Amino acid sequence: MLFKQKGILFVLSGPSGVGKGTVRKALFKKNTSLKYSTSMTTRPMRPGEQEGVDYFYRSKEAFEQMIENNQLLEHAEYVGNYYGTPREYVEQQLEEGNDVFLEIEVQGALQVKVNFPEGVFIFLSPPSLEELKNRIVSRGTETESLVINRLNAAKEEIDMMDAYDYVVVNDRVDHAVENIQAIVKSEHCKRERVASEYKKILEVSQS
């Protein structure tokens, strides 16, 4: 191999309570070549969780030191605790040609987008949004106040989608996992990526 192709950064995010953690765990139970970036948090460990597997559990002081040293790719405060992505692991894996997968909340995903615009951003959407769409489409003249209220709540989530490349509906965990795997495959077949690899080979072989 004359040169090493860089890995692709995949970011799974979406509204709180949509099931990001469940989908991510199901994805990693499959035989995947993706490297999961374990996050750092200041929240207490829950029963059944393990240091270094579910999270790196750190004190608030240690976390703030990491922020200060620019050792986090992104971080966010969520329900009174810090969550963040250690930078070194992600950069090293990408450099070595491995695909990296992050599962983070939306503020963090937006920060990653600033630093890694070439990343692939996947929005996990609640099935309630899809149900709402179906109800309105099938009835046409839906005017119930309940639907109006739900529409207003849904608007915020739909606005959030704008920053993403793909939307995966979490109607069933296995469906969501299949769709994410399909996205990973498609991204590797993207003309821009494939062509730039060939161009690099040509440059190297002609130099």
- CB of 75 vs ligand 5GP, minimal distance in Å: 6
3-state DSSP helix/strand/coil percent for the chain, to nearest 5?
Answer: 50, 20, 30
Which of 5, 38 has the CB closer to ligand 5GP? 38
* Residue number with CB closer to ligand 5GP (86 or 136): 86
**Which amino acid, residue 116?**
F
Nearer to ligand 5GP by Cβ, of 45 and 195: the residue is 45
Cα angle for residues 25, 39, 193 (degrees, 5° grid): 75
For ligand 5GP, which is the closer residue by CB, 99 or 103? 103
Least distance to ligand 5GP, CB of residue 21, Å: 6
d(CA 138, CA 133): 8
Element (H, E) at 39: strand 39-41
Q: Which is nearer to ligand 5GP, 5 or 71 (by Cβ)?
A: 71
Q: How far apart are CA 123 and CA 121, in angstroms?
A: 7
Residue (115 or 196) nearer to ligand 5GP, CB? 115
Least separation in angstroms between residue 23's CB and ligand 5GP is 10
Q: How far is CA 131 from CA 86, 135, 198, in A?
A: 37, 6, 44
Least Å from the CB of residue 41 to ligand 5GP: 6
Compute the least distance from the CB of residue 164 to ligand 5GP, in Å: 14
Give the shortest CB-149-to-ligand 5GP separation in angstroms.
Answer: 24
Residues lying near ligand 5GP in the complex (CB under 6 A): 16, 20-21, 39, 43, 74, 76, 78, 83-85, 103-105, 108
SS3 of 100, please?
Answer: strand
